[in-house]
A and B are shown apart, each in its own frame.
Chain A
Amino acid sequence: MTSTKTAPPSAPSPEQARPDRTERTPRRIAFGHKLSKWDLKLSPYLYISPFFILFAITGLFPIAYTAVISFMDWDLVRNSGTFIGFDQYVYVLTQPKFWIALRNTFSIFLLSSVPQLILAVFIATMLDQNIRAKTFWRMGVLLPYVMAPVAVALIFSNMFGDKYGLINTTLADLGLPPVMWHSNAFASHIAISTMVNFRWTGYNTLILLAAMQAIPRDYYEAAAIDGANRFRQFTAITLPSLRPTLIFVIITSTIGGLQIFDEPRMYDQFGTGGANSQWLTISLYLYDIGWGQWNFGRAAALAWILFIIILAIGVINMLVTNRLVRDEGSRDGRSRRDRRAAAIAARTELEHRVGGTVRDDFGSAPTGAATSDTNDKTTEVAR
């Protein structure tokens, strides 16, 4: 600011020297300058405005409006509501169906995300090795991702058929009793989780693979030198390095898992979550209240309850993941700060030792660039 203000007073001196030139050009520059200044100032806001305007209409406004509707008894004919306070929340929370749906959602979510992530880490570790035809395997792993969840649900509900399904036929061939994939609640959760796992494992694998490839190879070399085996390298280097990515993947799969709708909706031809709500999920219940019973107030209340659950689980997830992965990476019960302090102390001690002895020896008689270079590398490896 001050520099632009002090500039004009110094300008007159060249003006006096060459009067005819300065008369035209500065004015044009000033005008153009003003325009481009406005351009520079305004255009960023113009560029981001489409997002914010559209988001305000289709994202922000509905969220706020959902909150309003959730306190109302919504009349579809008049298309307006009467304020009734927390009654809709009370109603939803006292429905046994809600708690069944909550249980089912959690059960399906856990059955899908836990094995899926373990499997994804495992597959990513294999893909992270120096395999042939990398792109081929990566594309193969992602193949299920392009299939619509509805399509996946239709195929798997066929394979999990109670009477003639592939799985039960196979079980019969093996001499095992058939599993009632539709009437048994837990079995239906396994079937639905299988659909989710089929579609998402590859996707998560690739995300984890990307994070694995970002881990510097030197860490593994150093660990190998220290005598750590494959498994030890995995728990001591790979897993801790993956922590941010794991948190990201867990949170996204939580958000997705708690909203699950397509698969349970298409699991049988009625789409009501089973005769005894065996696989009714919260989203399915929301659809049923809103567009089956046409009660928008209750549906809105349920939507907010779902949102709060997602937020809470997200936070819990983050805390647990942070803990879990960190503990596996550490050698003992020491906190991160302690370990870091110890590592720094060890490093300075080593540097001191290496630097000290080496410098004394070479200081007396320099032997050339090659050896000193090696010594530089030594400290690097030791670090």
Chain B
Amino acid sequence: MTATEPATQATTSMNTVASVTVNAKDPKRRLRSRPVRGSRPGWFVYTALAIVLGSAIFPYYWSFLIGSGDAGTIRDPNMSWLPGGNFIENALTVVNDPAVNFWRALWNSIYSSALIALSVVFFSTLAGWAFAKLKFKGGKWLLVFVVATMAVPMQLGVVPLYILFADLGWTGNVGAIIIPALVTAFGVFWMTQYIQQSVPDELLEAARVDGANSFRTFLTVGLPAARPAAAMLGLFTFVTAWNNFFWPFIVLDRSDPTLPVALSLLQSNHFVDYSIVLAGVLLSTIPLLILFVFAGKQLVSGIMAGAVKG
């Protein structure tokens, strides 16, 4: 008898507080909604996403469609939506065009982007390690300064940079596009953020106790720990460097271009024959497409992680 009394009291008190009745359902709700967010969405979400995906793929397909036809394809009112058989022929025209320098451009793009990515990753990790884990006077302010420089547009520096490289006799040299890209403020900021969050101070102390000097600590503790972020930064930098156009277009010779600069020449050479232009476009996009197929997951998670979260 005395045991039931408190129970009834409890139920009455539950009824007085309105939210408790909701709460009675809560355990089940939680179980259902915690690991996944809500129920599966309906068909309209998938349809909408499929449309988005379709519009993302369409330009790729379009360039293949036109690029595999001939000069008349684009003017054909009854154009087929199936690709023609001339893609290889058109691609060979692009590759063998002496004015475009395709192979030269491909090679320049590959090694300049790779060098830039490596350098940005190394120097950014080094600086990020210092900003995140080592204490030194003025560190905070220097980091603020680094972040502030991200707002400066490229255009602000191109005139003097051009004069500088012209003085050095480097215009037309791929070095002129590598040197200014060797470090980025974004890279330093990115690595600082990552190392701050993911490398525990205990690791540093352990290394110090073991008698490692500062640089050795960086090599044995910092670099391996920063690897995921470094991979993403490398991918990003590579894509950005590969697609960069404004500065290479200004400073490089037409005989020694990167791929985007070579593409720009394609149009002025063959301004009527779009089948050749678009075959060249697709050809120059293939290397990055391959990279995307293998590393797209990393790139996606990199962008997701790099966002400013509320």
Contacts and interface: CB of A to CB of B under 8 A. Distances in A.
B77 A208 contact: no
A89 interface: no
A54 to B, nearest CB: 5
Interface stretch (B86-94, B95-103, B144-152, B225-233): B144-152
Contact of B153 (A47, A209, A217, A259): A259
A354 interface: yes
Contacts of A202: 56
B159 A296 contact: yes
B289 A126 contact: no
Nearest to A367: B6
Contacts of B155: 259, 283, 286, 303, 306-307
A315 B294 CA distance: 39
A142 interface: yes
A44 B136 contact: yes
Nearest to A64: B160
A231 B252 CA distance: 52
A150 B245 contact: yes
Given A132-B40, A217-B37, A139 B300 contact: yes
Nearest to B300: A138
A381 B239 contact: no
A244 B307 CA distance: 10
A43 B17 contact: no
Contacts of A241: 310
Interface residues of B, number: 121
Contacts of B304: 138, 206-207, 209-210, 213
A248 interface: yes
A366 B152 CA distance: 66
Interface in B10-44: 10, 12-14, 16-17, 19-20, 22-24, 26, 29, 33-34, 36-41
Nearest to A377: B23
Interface in A358-372: 358, 361-362, 364-367, 371
Contact of A158 (B57, B74, B208, B215): B74
Contact of B41 (A131, A206, A290): A131
Contacts of A55: 149, 183, 185
Nearest to A206: B303
A269 B59 contact: no
B188 interface: yes
A365 B152 contact: no
Given A47-B130, A202-B56, A126 B292 contact: no
Nearest to A269: B271
A143 B6 contact: no
Given A61-B160, A148-B263, A135 B136 contact: no
Contacts of A52: 142
Interface in B208-261: 208, 213-215, 218, 239, 242-243, 245-246, 249-250, 259-260
B48 interface: yes
A269 B268 CA distance: 5
B174 interface: no
A242 B20 CA distance: 31
Contacts of B199: none
Among B53, B139, B160, B214, the one with the most A-chain Cβ atoms within 10 Å of its Cβ is B160
Interface string B166-186: 110000000000011011010
A382 B155 CA distance: 53
Given A58-B161, A131-B45, A161-B74, A375 B20 contact: yes
Nearest to A152: B59
Given A65-B160, A303-B159, A214 B245 contact: no
Given A43-B134, A158-B274, A367-B10, A66 B263 contact: no
Given A44-B139, A59-B152, 17 more contacts: A47-B126, A54-B182, A59-B180, A131-B45, A139-B300, A148-B259, A245-B310, A259-B155, A261-B246, A262-B246, A266-B267, A299-B158, A306-B153, A306-B156, A364-B6, A364-B9, A378-B19
6 contacts: A143-B56, A214-B309, A262-B246, A296-B162, A296-B163, A357-B16
